[in-house]
Protein backbone atom coordinates (compact mmCIF):
# COMPACT_ATOMS: atom_id res chain seq x y z
CA UNK A 1 0.00 0.00 0.00
CA UNK A 2 1.27 3.50 -0.86
CA UNK A 3 2.53 5.64 2.00
CA UNK A 4 0.79 8.83 0.81
CA UNK A 5 -2.38 9.76 -1.06
CA UNK A 6 -2.23 12.67 -3.49
CA UNK A 7 0.71 15.01 -4.02
CA UNK A 8 0.25 18.19 -6.07
CA UNK A 9 3.41 19.70 -7.53
CA UNK A 10 2.86 23.22 -8.85
CA UNK A 11 5.50 23.62 -11.60
CA UNK A 12 6.81 20.13 -10.94
CA UNK A 13 8.54 20.08 -14.32
CA UNK A 14 11.89 21.67 -13.39
CA UNK A 15 14.98 20.50 -11.56
CA UNK A 16 13.36 19.98 -8.15
CA UNK A 17 10.04 18.82 -9.56
CA UNK A 18 11.66 16.01 -11.56
CA UNK A 19 13.56 14.83 -8.49
CA UNK A 20 10.38 14.90 -6.37
CA UNK A 21 8.36 12.96 -8.97
CA UNK A 22 11.06 10.29 -9.19
CA UNK A 23 11.29 10.08 -5.40
CA UNK A 24 7.55 9.95 -4.61
CA UNK A 25 6.11 8.07 -7.58
CA UNK A 26 6.21 4.72 -5.78
CA UNK A 27 5.28 6.19 -2.41
CA UNK A 28 1.92 7.77 -3.24
CA UNK A 29 -1.34 6.97 -5.01
CA UNK A 30 -1.33 9.98 -7.27
CA UNK A 31 0.93 12.84 -8.36
CA UNK A 32 -0.57 15.84 -10.13
CA UNK A 33 1.78 18.30 -11.80
CA UNK A 34 0.47 21.78 -12.59
CA UNK A 35 2.29 23.04 -15.67
CA UNK A 36 1.94 25.60 -18.46
CA UNK A 37 2.59 22.77 -20.95
CA UNK A 38 0.60 19.63 -21.62
CA UNK A 39 2.23 16.28 -21.07
CA UNK A 40 0.90 12.71 -21.35
CA UNK A 41 0.04 10.87 -18.12
CA UNK A 42 2.45 8.21 -16.93
CA UNK A 43 0.69 5.68 -14.71
CA UNK A 44 -0.48 7.69 -11.69
CA UNK A 45 1.54 10.83 -12.57
CA UNK A 46 -0.70 13.32 -14.41
CA UNK A 47 -0.07 16.81 -15.74
CA UNK A 48 -2.86 19.38 -15.53
CA UNK A 49 -2.55 22.67 -17.39
CA UNK A 50 -2.57 26.02 -15.62
CA UNK A 51 -0.92 29.37 -16.31
CA UNK A 52 0.38 29.99 -12.80
CA UNK A 53 -1.76 33.09 -12.32
CA UNK A 54 -5.42 32.47 -13.21
CA UNK A 55 -7.93 30.35 -11.35
CA UNK A 56 -9.23 27.57 -13.61
CA UNK A 57 -10.77 24.12 -13.43
CA UNK A 58 -7.40 22.83 -12.18
CA UNK A 59 -8.36 23.97 -8.67
CA UNK A 60 -10.24 20.67 -8.04
CA UNK A 61 -6.89 18.87 -8.02
CA UNK A 62 -6.13 20.43 -4.65
CA UNK A 63 -9.19 18.91 -3.04
CA UNK A 64 -8.10 16.59 -0.23
CA UNK A 65 -4.43 16.51 -1.32
CA UNK A 66 -1.88 15.29 1.22
CA UNK A 67 0.49 18.06 0.20
CA UNK A 68 0.84 20.94 -2.22
CA UNK A 69 4.45 21.68 -3.09
CA UNK A 70 4.79 24.99 -4.92
CA UNK A 71 7.92 25.18 -7.06
CA UNK A 72 6.75 27.87 -9.48
CA UNK A 73 9.11 30.61 -10.52
CA UNK A 74 11.03 31.92 -13.51
CA UNK A 75 14.56 30.58 -13.25
CA UNK A 76 16.85 33.20 -11.65
CA UNK A 77 19.75 32.20 -13.90
CA UNK A 78 19.25 35.14 -16.28
CA UNK A 79 20.19 38.82 -16.63
CA UNK A 80 18.37 40.99 -14.12
CA UNK A 81 16.89 43.46 -16.61
CA UNK A 82 13.48 45.05 -15.95
CA UNK A 83 11.54 42.44 -17.94
CA UNK A 84 13.22 39.47 -16.25
CA UNK A 85 13.01 41.05 -12.80
CA UNK A 86 9.27 41.52 -13.19
CA UNK A 87 8.80 37.93 -14.36
CA UNK A 88 10.97 36.56 -11.53
CA UNK A 89 8.79 38.29 -8.93
CA UNK A 90 5.39 37.97 -10.61
CA UNK A 91 5.73 34.26 -11.38
CA UNK A 92 6.38 33.60 -7.69
CA UNK A 93 3.80 35.87 -6.08
CA UNK A 94 1.04 35.22 -8.67
CA UNK A 95 1.34 31.46 -8.25
CA UNK A 96 1.06 31.72 -4.48
CA UNK A 97 -2.01 33.97 -4.74
CA UNK A 98 -3.82 31.76 -7.20
CA UNK A 99 -3.00 28.54 -5.32
CA UNK A 100 -4.38 30.09 -2.14
CA UNK A 101 -7.52 31.14 -4.03
CA UNK A 102 -7.86 27.56 -5.32
CA UNK A 103 -7.52 26.13 -1.82
CA UNK A 104 -10.16 28.53 -0.57
CA UNK A 105 -12.59 26.74 -2.92
CA UNK A 106 -11.78 23.29 -1.53
CA UNK A 107 -14.10 21.52 0.87
CA UNK A 108 -11.16 19.54 2.26
CA UNK A 109 -8.01 21.63 2.00
CA UNK A 110 -4.54 20.07 1.50
CA UNK A 111 -3.03 18.95 4.79
CA UNK A 112 0.23 20.74 4.08
CA UNK A 113 1.55 23.51 1.82
CA UNK A 114 5.28 23.35 1.24
CA UNK A 115 6.60 26.48 -0.42
CA UNK A 116 9.96 26.31 -2.09
CA UNK A 117 11.79 29.53 -1.23
CA UNK A 118 15.43 30.53 -1.20
CA UNK A 119 18.33 30.64 1.26
CA UNK A 120 19.40 33.77 -0.64
CA UNK A 121 17.08 35.68 1.70
CA UNK A 122 19.97 35.85 4.21
CA UNK A 123 22.67 38.48 3.92
CA UNK A 124 26.10 37.99 2.33
CA UNK A 125 27.86 36.25 5.25
CA UNK A 126 31.57 35.56 5.56
CA UNK A 127 31.63 36.05 9.35
CA UNK A 128 29.09 33.57 10.71
CA UNK A 129 26.42 31.11 9.61
CA UNK A 130 22.75 32.02 9.33
CA UNK A 131 20.11 29.86 11.03
CA UNK A 132 16.33 30.20 11.02
CA UNK A 133 16.51 31.76 14.50
CA UNK A 134 19.41 34.18 14.17
CA UNK A 135 19.89 34.64 10.42
CA UNK A 136 19.90 38.25 9.25
CA UNK A 137 17.88 39.16 6.18
CA UNK A 138 19.99 40.75 3.45
CA UNK A 139 19.31 43.42 0.86
CA UNK A 140 19.25 43.83 -2.91
CA UNK A 141 17.05 42.49 -5.69
CA UNK A 142 17.27 38.75 -4.88
CA UNK A 143 16.48 39.35 -1.22
CA UNK A 144 13.52 41.58 -2.18
CA UNK A 145 12.22 38.71 -4.33
CA UNK A 146 12.55 36.29 -1.40
CA UNK A 147 10.82 38.68 0.98
CA UNK A 148 7.91 39.35 -1.41
CA UNK A 149 7.62 35.58 -2.05
CA UNK A 150 7.45 34.62 1.64
CA UNK A 151 5.21 37.57 2.58
CA UNK A 152 2.76 36.55 -0.14
CA UNK A 153 2.64 33.02 1.29
CA UNK A 154 2.10 34.28 4.82
CA UNK A 155 -0.57 36.80 3.84
CA UNK A 156 -2.50 34.50 1.51
CA UNK A 157 -2.51 31.39 3.68
CA UNK A 158 -3.17 33.03 7.05
CA UNK A 159 -6.93 32.49 6.74
CA UNK A 160 -6.74 28.84 5.63
CA UNK A 161 -7.51 26.52 8.54
CA UNK A 162 -6.52 22.87 8.96
CA UNK A 163 -3.46 23.25 6.73
CA UNK A 164 0.16 23.35 7.90
CA UNK A 165 2.56 25.67 6.07
CA UNK A 166 6.26 25.19 5.59
CA UNK A 167 8.62 27.56 3.83
CA UNK A 168 11.76 25.80 2.61
CA UNK A 169 14.65 28.26 2.32
CA UNK A 170 16.53 26.10 -0.14
CA UNK A 171 20.21 26.45 -0.99
CA UNK A 172 21.93 25.37 -4.22
CA UNK A 173 20.38 22.02 -5.19
CA UNK A 174 22.85 19.50 -6.62
CA UNK A 175 21.41 17.17 -9.29
CA UNK A 176 23.18 14.92 -11.75
CA UNK A 177 21.81 16.42 -14.95
CA UNK A 178 20.25 19.77 -14.08
CA UNK A 179 21.17 22.95 -12.24
CA UNK A 180 24.66 24.01 -11.26
CA UNK A 181 26.38 20.61 -10.85
CA UNK A 182 26.59 19.56 -14.53
CA UNK A 183 27.84 23.05 -15.49
CA UNK A 184 30.64 23.03 -12.92
CA UNK A 185 31.45 19.38 -13.66
CA UNK A 186 31.92 20.22 -17.35
CA UNK A 187 34.22 23.13 -16.51
CA UNK A 188 36.31 20.81 -14.31
CA UNK A 189 36.39 18.05 -16.94
CA UNK A 190 37.81 20.52 -19.48
CA UNK A 191 40.42 21.63 -16.97
CA UNK A 192 38.72 25.00 -16.40
CA UNK A 193 37.48 24.46 -12.85
CA UNK A 194 39.01 27.07 -10.56
CA UNK A 195 37.83 29.24 -7.71
CA UNK A 196 35.52 32.09 -8.58
CA UNK A 197 36.43 35.59 -7.40
CA UNK A 198 38.54 35.39 -4.24
CA UNK A 199 37.04 31.95 -3.49
CA UNK A 200 36.28 32.92 0.10
CA UNK A 201 32.51 33.19 -0.43
CA UNK A 202 30.63 30.41 1.35
CA UNK A 203 28.52 27.97 -0.62
CA UNK A 204 25.54 26.29 0.96
CA UNK A 205 24.32 23.32 -1.05
CA UNK A 206 22.08 20.25 -0.77
CA UNK A 207 21.82 16.98 -2.71
CA UNK A 208 18.44 16.65 -4.47
CA UNK A 209 17.78 13.37 -2.63
CA UNK A 210 18.00 15.18 0.69
CA UNK A 211 15.54 17.82 -0.55
CA UNK A 212 13.08 14.99 -1.30
CA UNK A 213 13.80 13.29 2.01
CA UNK A 214 13.27 16.54 3.91
CA UNK A 215 9.92 17.02 2.13
CA UNK A 216 8.92 13.46 3.11
CA UNK A 217 10.04 14.06 6.70
CA UNK A 218 7.94 17.25 6.85
CA UNK A 219 4.92 15.36 5.47
CA UNK A 220 5.24 12.87 8.30
CA UNK A 221 5.82 15.25 11.21
CA UNK A 222 3.80 18.18 12.52
CA UNK A 223 6.31 20.99 11.96
CA UNK A 224 5.38 24.40 10.53
CA UNK A 225 7.10 27.60 9.48
CA UNK A 226 10.54 28.30 8.04
CA UNK A 227 13.13 25.55 7.50
CA UNK A 228 16.55 26.03 5.97
CA UNK A 229 16.78 23.27 3.36
CA UNK A 230 20.52 22.87 3.07
CA UNK A 231 23.25 20.38 3.99
CA UNK A 232 24.95 20.89 7.37
CA UNK A 233 28.42 21.44 5.86
CA UNK A 234 28.64 24.62 3.79
CA UNK A 235 32.17 25.47 2.64
CA UNK A 236 34.07 28.11 0.74
CA UNK A 237 33.91 28.35 -3.03
CA UNK A 238 37.62 27.42 -3.18
CA UNK A 239 37.10 24.23 -1.14
CA UNK A 240 33.95 23.43 -3.14
CA UNK A 241 35.92 23.60 -6.38
CA UNK A 242 38.89 21.70 -4.92
CA UNK A 243 36.64 18.81 -3.89
CA UNK A 244 34.96 18.74 -7.30
CA UNK A 245 38.38 18.67 -9.00
CA UNK A 246 39.49 15.83 -6.72
CA UNK A 247 36.43 13.75 -7.62
CA UNK A 248 37.33 14.12 -11.32
CA UNK A 249 41.08 13.72 -10.69
CA UNK A 250 41.82 17.19 -12.06
CA UNK A 251 44.01 19.98 -10.76
CA UNK A 252 42.37 23.20 -9.54
CA UNK A 253 42.62 25.45 -12.60
CA UNK A 254 43.14 29.19 -12.82
CA UNK A 255 41.10 31.58 -10.72
CA UNK A 256 38.26 33.42 -12.48
CA UNK A 257 38.72 37.03 -11.27
CA UNK A 258 35.66 39.15 -10.64
CA UNK A 259 36.09 41.26 -13.80
CA UNK A 260 36.22 38.12 -15.95
CA UNK A 261 33.14 36.68 -14.23
CA UNK A 262 31.29 39.95 -14.86
CA UNK A 263 32.21 39.85 -18.53
CA UNK A 264 31.36 36.14 -18.80
CA UNK A 265 28.01 36.66 -17.06
CA UNK A 266 26.99 39.21 -19.70
CA UNK A 267 28.06 36.87 -22.48
CA UNK A 268 26.15 33.84 -21.16
CA UNK A 269 23.19 35.85 -19.83
CA UNK A 270 23.46 35.43 -16.09
CA UNK A 271 24.43 37.42 -12.96
CA UNK A 272 27.67 37.23 -10.95
CA UNK A 273 25.68 37.46 -7.71
CA UNK A 274 24.73 33.82 -8.24
CA UNK A 275 28.37 32.80 -7.73
CA UNK A 276 29.86 35.64 -5.69
CA UNK A 277 27.31 36.09 -2.90
CA UNK A 278 28.48 34.34 0.27
CA UNK A 279 25.64 32.07 1.37
CA UNK A 280 26.48 30.59 4.75
CA UNK A 281 23.30 28.88 5.89
CA UNK A 282 22.72 26.02 8.34
CA UNK A 283 19.73 23.65 8.66
CA UNK A 284 19.46 24.29 12.37
CA UNK A 285 15.76 23.48 12.82
CA UNK A 286 15.86 20.25 10.81
CA UNK A 287 18.90 19.01 12.73
CA UNK A 288 17.35 20.00 16.05
CA UNK A 289 14.17 18.08 15.19
CA UNK A 290 16.16 14.96 14.29
CA UNK A 291 16.38 15.05 10.48
CA UNK A 292 19.38 13.13 9.18
CA UNK A 293 21.07 13.77 5.85
CA UNK A 294 21.89 11.00 3.41
CA UNK A 295 24.59 13.23 1.92
CA UNK A 296 25.92 15.39 4.77
CA UNK A 297 29.27 16.13 3.13
CA UNK A 298 30.08 17.56 -0.28
CA UNK A 299 32.38 14.61 -1.02
CA UNK A 300 29.53 12.16 -0.48
CA UNK A 301 27.16 14.23 -2.66
CA UNK A 302 29.67 14.61 -5.51
CA UNK A 303 30.65 10.93 -5.43
CA UNK A 304 26.99 9.98 -5.66
CA UNK A 305 26.30 12.36 -8.54
CA UNK A 306 29.48 11.18 -10.24
CA UNK A 307 28.73 7.46 -9.81
CA UNK A 308 24.95 7.78 -9.89
CA UNK A 309 24.47 5.35 -7.00
CA UNK A 310 22.23 7.58 -4.85
CA UNK A 311 23.21 5.35 -1.95
CA UNK A 312 25.13 7.80 0.15
CA UNK A 313 27.79 5.20 0.81
CA UNK A 314 30.88 7.28 0.15
CA UNK A 315 33.51 6.84 2.86
CA UNK A 316 35.66 9.83 3.71
Ligand X SMILES: NC(=O)c1ccc[n+]([C@@H]2O[C@H](COP(=O)([O-])OP(=O)(O)OC[C@H]3O[C@@H](n4cnc5c(N)ncnc54)[C@H](OP(=O)(O)O)[C@@H]3O)[C@@H](O)[C@H]2O)c1
For CA atoms 163, 169, 175, 178, the dihedral sign is positive
Nearer to ligand X, 37 or 249 (CB): 37
Would you count residue 228 as binding ligand X (CB under 6 A)?
no
The correct pick among 35, 204, 272, 300 for binding ligand X (CB under 6 A) is 35
Q: Which of 33-41, 150-158, 182-190, 260-268 is the region at the interface with ligand X (rule: CB under 6 A)?
A: 33-41
- Contact between 270 and ligand X by CB under 6 A: the answer reads no
**d(C-alpha 83, C-alpha 85), whole Å:** 6
Among 62, 65, 69, 71, interactor with ligand X by CB under 6 A? 71
Give which of 206, 180, 208 is closest to 193, Cα–Cα. 180
176-183: long-range contacts at Cβ-Cβ below 8 A with a sequence spacing of 24 or more? Answer: 176/305, 176/308, 178/14, 178/15, 178/18, 179/15, 181/305
If one counts every other C-beta atom within 10 angstroms of the C-beta of residue 216, the result is 17
Q: Does 234 bind ligand X (CB under 6 A)?
A: no
Min dist. Cβ of residue 214 to ligand X (A): 13
Size, binding site for ligand X by CB under 6 A: 24
Binding part of the chain for ligand X, among 106-114, 131-139, 166-174, 298-306 by CB under 6 A, reads 166-174
Q: Binding ligand X by CB under 6 A: which of 14, 182, 296, 312?
A: 14
* Category of 38 on φ-ψ map: left (φ > 0), alpha (ψ -120 to 50) or beta: beta
Q: Which of 17, 129, 194, 197 forms a contact with ligand X (CB under 6 A)? A: 17
Q: How far is the CB of 13 from ligand X (least distance, A)?
A: 3
Q: Which CB contacts under 8 angstroms, 24+ apart, belong to 139-147?
A: 140/273, 141/80, 141/85, 142/76, 142/118, 142/273, 142/277, 144/89, 145/76, 145/88, 145/89, 145/92, 145/118, 146/117, 146/118, 146/120, 146/121, 147/121
Coil, strand, or helix at residue 203? strand
Which one of 135, 179, 197, 234 is in contact with ligand X (CB under 6 A)?
Answer: 179
Q: Tell me the closest approach of the beta carbon of residue 277 to ligand X, in angstroms.
A: 13
Minimal distance, residue 191 CB to ligand X, in Å: 25
Our CB check for ligand X shows the closer of 103 and 212 to be: 212
73 lines the binding site for ligand X (CB under 6 A): yes
User: How far apart, in whole angstroms, are the C-alpha atoms of residue 216 and residue 212?
Assistant: 6
State the residue number with the nearest CB to ligand X.
14
Question: What minimum distance in Å lies between the beta carbon of 172 and ligand X?
Answer: 5
Residue 36 in contact with ligand X, rule: CB under 6 A: yes
Q: What is the Cα Rg of the chain in Å? A: 19
Residue 118 interacts with ligand X (CB under 6 A): yes or no: yes
**Crossing angle of helices 180-189/237-247, nearest 10°?**
60
The contact set with ligand X (CB under 6 A) reads 11, 13-17, 35-37, 52, 71-76, 87, 91, 116, 118, 170, 172-173, 179
Amino acid sequence: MAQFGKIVLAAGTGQMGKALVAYFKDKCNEIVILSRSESPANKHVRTVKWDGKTLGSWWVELENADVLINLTGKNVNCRYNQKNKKEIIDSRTNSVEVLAAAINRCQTVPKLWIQSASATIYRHAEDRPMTEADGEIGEGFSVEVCKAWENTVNENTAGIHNMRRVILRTSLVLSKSDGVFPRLRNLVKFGLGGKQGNGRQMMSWIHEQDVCRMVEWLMMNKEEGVFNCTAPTPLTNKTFMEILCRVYSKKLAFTSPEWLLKFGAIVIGTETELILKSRWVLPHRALEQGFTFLFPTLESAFMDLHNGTNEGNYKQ
